[in-house]
Amino acid sequence: MTTKFNPEWKTWIKTNIESGQNKSGLFKILLDEGFTYQTIRDEMQFEPQSKSEFSVDWKSWIKTNVDDGHDRNGLFKILLDEGFTYKAIYQEMQFEPSLPIEQLVNPLKPKDREQAINPLPAVDLNQLFIPNGQKLDSNALPLFTVDNFLDSLECKAIVTEIKQSLNAEVLNEIVSGQDFHQGGVCELGLSNNPLTKEIDQRLCKLIGIDPSYSEPLQGQYFGADQSLRSYTDYLEQHEMDHHDALMGHRTFTVMIYLNNVESGGGTHFPAANTTIKPKTGFAVIWSNLGSDGAPRTQSARNAIPVIKGYQAVITKWFRSKSRLPNTPPMFIRDVNELIPAYTEAGFAKAKLPEILFSKVQKFYQSNRSAIQEETVAGDFIVNTAKSDAKGSSLIDLSAELRAEIHDNLKTLMEAWCGKALMPTYVYGIRIYHRGATLKCHRDRLATHIIGAIINIDQDVEEDWILVIDDHQHRRHQIALKPGEMIFYESGSLIHGRPTPFKGDLFANVFCHFKPVDYVPRAITQDT
């Protein structure tokens, strides 16, 4: 806002007043030019008479715009600019602005609208990292795909919910009036379905962005011959007037197909010359903005009509600004989450070769007397029992046995993860005691990229479960018996044993590798 008139504006005001122009009209022009109310009042020595009553036309205007879902803060500002008193507007709208008056934006004024939307925050596209994603080889559009992000049972459950939730209306009056969309759409953000809520959270983890930057999850269902014309996900200028402009433009879109379509369906990105075919659980992620924060027109897409059957999808949009007053960083991955995904799930059960298992068991039995109390940095192992003892003890391994474990597992684990591996560490036989818990964590970044947990011995009252999150951010529960092991991407996947151990001992060996070509990826700061 401008608080001082230059000589030209002073002359303009004087000339127009002397020629008999309406002072209220002049006052409004100066407000539109960005001068503050007080500055104009002091210069003109005049204050417009505020209006406290609405005509029938104004009342109809208010009702129509409120019913259409237009931003009430913006409507409030329009009425203030038209000279109505704060109290009169509040009483008619039954609404009080959520922002201070000086921050309200009149969507009908180009300058106000420009101030609300621009300057757009720059979005560092290099921070978008999808560990298990395949990146489209295109300069036109940053686009990733992820196979089987949702499994078939999850997809079926969400399709059922979409069908049950489908609204009779088609999107909203504005959109349907433009024949924008002929399929069924439902908002899943208010769903009480635990699976839907979980998937919503998993999508935020998939893209690595704080949930406060996201819109509620949306479900869409298309039958045969129902389609969309070419459109973009970033908000057009006129759409910003009708949406919460405080959250800015849509930065990224995550869309997941929930079924295989019998015939037709899918999405075509003309700028990237790419067509996405619908597959059950298939995720597609792309950017709607350029690195400067400006809308990316190359993100325009066409939905291919369904010829036979139906197509169901869920879509989640992310915005350039957080809804929280204390803004968190947009990208929230830690360094361990920047490790590539080497397998689809991230873990697999296997059996230790019998000969090696016998050698390790023999060493274990022969060296029980060499057990020593273990202290693990970071308090990852906690004894919840009423005891002063540590949660675990350790029997160290000989150098020869360490090397033999590495040599035996290297070929097996290379075949599993598809990478040439470098042995980094074999940990001795850790023996957990009654009441022990292992905090959920990711392993050491420098050396523990690919690992194996080998169960050697146990005396338990019930299985002591290992929980582990896969690359699709589902949580799994794994039980191991002596001679069984789990291969897992230990540096990137959260894992632990949060339930107190019920038993007298649980003995494991830990073996770690890293891919020969692994280079840690650095975190860059938000711009």
Segment 40-74, tens digit of pLDDT: 888 989 888 778 888 888 898 898 888 877 888 88
**Using 50, 70 and 90 to split pLDDT, how confident is the model at 122?**
low
Question: pLDDT at residue 479 above 70?
Answer: yes
Q: Please give the sequence-ordered ranges of beta strands (E in DSSP) within 243-378, or none if there are none.
A: 250-257, 263-264, 267-269, 274-276, 283-287, 302-303, 306-308, 311-319, 347-351, 372-373
**Using 50, 70 and 90 to split pLDDT, how confident is the model at 443?**
very high
Give the burial class of 180: count Cβ atoms within 10 A of its Cβ; 0-12 exposed, 13-18 middle, 19 or more buried.
middle
How confident is the model over 297-311, as pLDDT tens digits?
788 888 888 899 999
- What is the reported pLDDT for 48? 80
Query: Tokens for 387?
Result: 């005891």
How confident is the model over 168-178, as pLDDT tens digits?
444 343 344 34
- What is the reported pLDDT for 106? 78
Q: Which of 511, 508, 510 is nearest to 391 (CA)?
A: 508
From CA 341, how far away is CA 478, in angstroms rounded?
A: 20
Portion of the chain with pLDDT greater than 90, in percent: 50
Name the residue with higher pLDDT: 1 or 310.
310
306-308 and 218-222 strand pairing: unpaired
3-state secondary structure of 231: strand
3-state secondary structure of 80: helix
Portion of the chain with pLDDT greater than 70, in percent: 87
Amino acid at 383: N
Question: pLDDT at residue 508 above 90?
Answer: yes
Question: pLDDT at residue 435 above 50?
Answer: yes
> What residues does each domain of the chain span?
7-117, 125-333, 347-515
Q: Which of 443, 439, 413 is nearest to 336 (CA)?
A: 443
> In this structure, are residues 335 and 208 in contact, taking their beta carbons and an 8 Å threshold?
no
- What is the reported pLDDT for 123? 63
- What is the reported pLDDT for 170? 43
**Using 50, 70 and 90 to split pLDDT, how confident is the model at 527?**
very low
- What is the reported pLDDT for 184? 81
From CA 255, how far away is CA 301, in angstroms rounded?
A: 12
Question: pLDDT at residue 121 above 90?
Answer: no
**Using 50, 70 and 90 to split pLDDT, how confident is the model at 249?**
confident
Q: Domain spanning 125-333: which superfamily?
A: q2cbj1_9rhob like domain (2.60.120.620)
- What is the reported pLDDT for 272? 86
- What is the reported pLDDT for 516? 94
- State the average pLDDT over residues 189-203: 93
> Measuring CA to CA, how many Å separate 411 from each of 199, 429, 486, 492, 503?
36, 22, 15, 21, 34
Q: Domain spanning 347-515: which superfamily?
A: q2cbj1_9rhob like domain (2.60.120.620)
How confident is the model over 323-359, as pLDDT tens digits?
898 889 999 998 999 999 999 999 999 999 999 999 9
From CA 270, how far away is CA 478, in angstroms rounded?
A: 45
Helix or strand (DSSP H, E) at 408? helix 399-417
Question: pLDDT at residue 117 above 80?
Answer: no
How many alpha carbons lie under 13 Å from residue 505 in its C-beta half-sphere?
A: 16
Q: Give 216's strand partners.
A: none
| Same fold flag, 125-333 and 347-515 | yes
- State the average pLDDT over residues 385-398: 84
How confident is the model over 220-243, as pLDDT tens digits?
998 886 655 555 666 655 455 444
- What is the reported pLDDT for 64? 82
- What is the reported pLDDT for 119? 46
- What is the reported pLDDT for 191? 86
Burial of 62-79, coded b for 16+ CB within 10 Å and e otherwise, reads beebeeeebbbbbbbbbb
- What is the reported pLDDT for 225? 66
How confident is the model over 2-43, as pLDDT tens digits?
788 888 788 888 877 887 777 887 887 787 677 887 888 889
**Average pLDDT score, the chain:** 85
Sign of CA pseudo-dihedral 246, 249, 251, 257: positive
Question: pLDDT at residue 378 above 80?
Answer: no
- What is the reported pLDDT for 181? 41
- What is the reported pLDDT for 1? 60
